[in-house]
Chain A
Amino acid sequence: MPAPARVWRKPPFIKDPRLRWGLWLAAGVYLAFALGTLEVNWNRVADGIPRGQRFLASFFPPDFASRWAEILDGIYESLWMTVTSTVVGIALSIPVGLGAARNLSPLPVYLLCRAIVALSRTFPEIILAIFFVKLFGFGPFAGFLALSVATVGFYAKLLAEDIEDMDPDQAEAVRVTGASWFQWLNYAVQPQVMPRMVGLGLYRFDINFRESAVVGIVGGGGIGATLLTAFDRYEFDSAAAILLVIIGIVMAVEYSSGWIRRQVQ
């Protein structure tokens, strides 16, 4: 007689069945209540749809010509802001990122640098921009500062994490040659983190360009300011042109950064 087949099932992630089903139930009940409190006024939705159609229709055809000089100025200013804030932000990120890597830095330095990272990540670009506009007045300088600070929070954190993930054997091998700390950084750490850091730098460039449009809306200068003016004047066709230019530049940056990242691997 053959032995009875032994049943096997994948063990559940949460062992206790009461907890497992309880969590599902709680999530379901919460979702039901949340949907229940969402008051949708279907009349207003119905009114809104044709208004939205009219609004979108007024974007067409996009008018590049009548405000072309302003658009060009805005783009130049945004690009200037993007380039400077990316470069300055990354330059400031390097010491902070080295300090925030646990395998490089003693505990006090680590905690300080992590605090800097956490602080600059707490505020989104737009809040930083409002703050700097209050401090230094309208214009691209406030936008540049906002984007630089935001870049530090982003780049230093990812640099620190990449350093913490590096191969310790390679680092040991360079250390035992008698290399100094800076030589060790240059020979053991930098080659390991460089390709990813170049990629992230380009990615941050991309983000900073998009954010430069946002910070402009709160007074940080750049193409965002031009866009806001166009909306204020009800020149939706010009606004559409500006949006198309932004989309075009973001796509160009996206494709070229992808290409560059493949080259540095």
Chain B
Amino acid sequence: MLRIEGLVKQYRTGDRALKSVDLEVPGGQVMALIGPSGAGKSTLIRCVNRLVEPTSGRIQLGELELTTLGSRALRRARRRMGMIFQEYALVERLTVMENVLSGRLGYVGFWRSFARRFPQSDVDEAFRLLSRVGLDHMVDKRADELSGGQRQRVGIARALIQDPELLLVDEPTASLDPKTSRQIMRLVTELCEERGLAAIINIHDVMLAQMFSKRVVGLQLGEIVYDGPPEGLTAEVLTTIYGEEDWSATIRNVDEDEDGVEAPDDAHAGAASARHPAAPAREEDVVGGM
């Protein structure tokens, strides 16, 4: 469904963020992309929807080659890809409903959107999605009145109302506490399953990646160094991705969590994620301190 071949991104500063990445994501697959900060995870998914212009390589969504699209065709293609952001990226002074409906902007004309008169079917779908993510009582609240977890739920609804085939998810839990992180990851993966969506989820929390996806891809300095099932993430593999560290706690915790998904033990999750040496521990530290 999504096929990336020989993707290179070199920034103007000369940094090669991606060095010839090949990656294929079949329809309906939820894939976790792990790796330390600066590995190029964010650059990779931003190349797909061209928030970042790739230097070279090919990216195909279905039959459509994305890297050569003109602005009009790009807008059309972007409707097929929903994006979820680390800091939620809701428009803070708009209401929850306006934020969700902004996901339909690619489908409606300017004056309709300007007058906030979206087609009834869009409004129905927005209400349905908001109730699915548990926020139908907050329709007219302004986005800046919501908590982090609630904002991310609105972000998810905004991405889904586009009726996409692919979700690009950039560190969805990095600003959330451990419990909310799991709830959000569970919601994203459930919704992907319900709708048969493919997803690339950037995440630096290895445990969450293992818990919620069947395929994990490890990126290190712009190259894919691991591509396989979550069980394959051994201490050696994690060392290749992140560097030398005592990984035993992370791996052991994964085993415990396999049974504990229903009643997640959040203290463990927090402790374990703080152990990732190369990953920026700042968000977890903030959470841990609260």
A residues contacting B by CB (< 8 A) are 167, 169-170, 172-180, 182-184, 186-188, 191-192, 194-195
**Would you call A172 and B102 a contact (CB within 8 A)?**
no
Given A173-B90, A187-B91, A187-B113: A179 in contact with B102 (beta carbons within 8 A): yes
**Would you call A177 and B90 a contact (CB within 8 A)?**
no
Task: Among B83, B91, B93, B110, point to the contact of A176 (Cβ < 8 A).
Answer: B83
For B114, the closest partner residue in chain A by CB is A186
**Would you call A179 and B75 a contact (CB within 8 A)?**
yes
Chain B residues whose CB sits within 8 angstroms of the CB of A186 once the complex forms: 110, 113-114
A187 to chain B, nearest CB (A): 5
* Alpha-carbon gap, A184 to B113, bound state (A): 10
**Would you call A178 and B76 a contact (CB within 8 A)?**
yes
Task: Among B89, B92, B94, point to the contact of A172 (Cβ < 8 A).
Answer: B89
Instruction: Give 28 CB contacts A-B under 8 Å.
Output: A167-B92, A169-B85, A169-B89, A172-B85, A172-B89, A173-B90, A173-B91, A173-B102, A175-B51, A176-B49, A177-B79, A177-B104, A177-B162, A178-B76, A178-B78, A178-B79, A179-B75, A179-B106, A179-B113, A180-B110, A182-B110, A184-B105, A186-B113, A187-B113, A188-B91, A191-B91, A192-B91, A194-B93
For B159, the closest partner residue in chain A by CB is A177
Chain B residues whose CB sits within 8 angstroms of the CB of A177 once the complex forms: 78-79, 102-106, 158, 162
B4 to chain A, nearest CB (A): 18
Other A-B pairs beyond A173-B89, A177-B79, 15, CB < 8 Å: A167-B92, A169-B87, A170-B90, A170-B92, A173-B158, A176-B51, A178-B106, A179-B102, A183-B110, A183-B113, A186-B110, A191-B92, A191-B94, A192-B92, A192-B93
* Alpha-carbon gap, A174 to B91, bound state (A): 8
Chain B residues whose CB sits within 8 angstroms of the CB of A194 once the complex forms: 93
**Contact string against A for B residues 99-138, beta-carbon threshold 8 Å, 1 for contact and 0 otherwise:** 0001111110010011000000000000000000000000
Chain A residues whose CB sits within 8 angstroms of the CB of B106 once the complex forms: 177-179
Task: Among B77, B81, B85, B98, point to the contact of A173 (Cβ < 8 A).
Answer: B85
Given A178-B106, A195-B93: A172 in contact with B51 (beta carbons within 8 A): yes
Chain A residues whose CB sits within 8 angstroms of the CB of B110 once the complex forms: 180, 182-183, 186
Q: Which of B85, B89, B90 has the most C-beta atoms of chain A within 10 angstroms of its own C-beta?
A: B89
B276 to chain A, nearest CB (A): 24
Q: In residues 30-53 of chain B, which contact A (Cβ within 8 Å)?
A: 49, 51
Q: 3 shortest A-B CB distances, which residue pairs?
A: A178-B106, A179-B105, A173-B89
* Alpha-carbon gap, A108 to B214, bound state (A): 50
**Would you call A191 and B162 a contact (CB within 8 A)?**
no
* Alpha-carbon gap, A202 to B138, bound state (A): 32
For A189, the closest partner residue in chain B by CB is B91
Chain B residues whose CB sits within 8 angstroms of the CB of A187 once the complex forms: 91, 94, 98, 102, 105, 113
* Alpha-carbon gap, A172 to B103, bound state (A): 12
Task: Indicate the size class of the contact surface on chain B.
Answer: 20 to 34
Chain B residues whose CB sits within 8 angstroms of the CB of A167 once the complex forms: 92
A77 to chain B, nearest CB (A): 36
* Alpha-carbon gap, A192 to B91, bound state (A): 8
**Would you call A178 and B91 a contact (CB within 8 A)?**
no
**Would you call A178 and B93 a contact (CB within 8 A)?**
no
Chain A residues whose CB sits within 8 angstroms of the CB of B113 once the complex forms: 179, 183, 186-187
**Would you call B83 and A173 a contact (CB within 8 A)?**
yes
* Alpha-carbon gap, A153 to B91, bound state (A): 29
* Alpha-carbon gap, A95 to B94, bound state (A): 23
Chain B residues whose CB sits within 8 angstroms of the CB of A183 once the complex forms: 105, 110, 113-114
**Contact string against A for B residues 10-30, beta-carbon threshold 8 Å, 1 for contact and 0 otherwise:** 000000000000000000000
Q: In residues 125-173 of chain B, which contact A (Cβ within 8 Å)?
A: 155, 158, 162
Chain B residues whose CB sits within 8 angstroms of the CB of A178 once the complex forms: 75-79, 105-107, 162
A138 to chain B, nearest CB (A): 43
Chain B residues whose CB sits within 8 angstroms of the CB of A175 once the complex forms: 51, 78
Chain B residues whose CB sits within 8 angstroms of the CB of A172 once the complex forms: 51, 85, 89
A171 to chain B, nearest CB (A): 9
B117 to chain A, nearest CB (A): 13
B73 to chain A, nearest CB (A): 11
Q: Which of A167, A178, A183, A184 has the most C-beta atoms of chain B within 10 angstroms of its own C-beta?
A: A178
Q: Which of B77, B98, B114 has the most C-beta atoms of chain A within 10 angstroms of its own C-beta?
A: B114
Chain B residues whose CB sits within 8 angstroms of the CB of A174 once the complex forms: 91, 102, 105
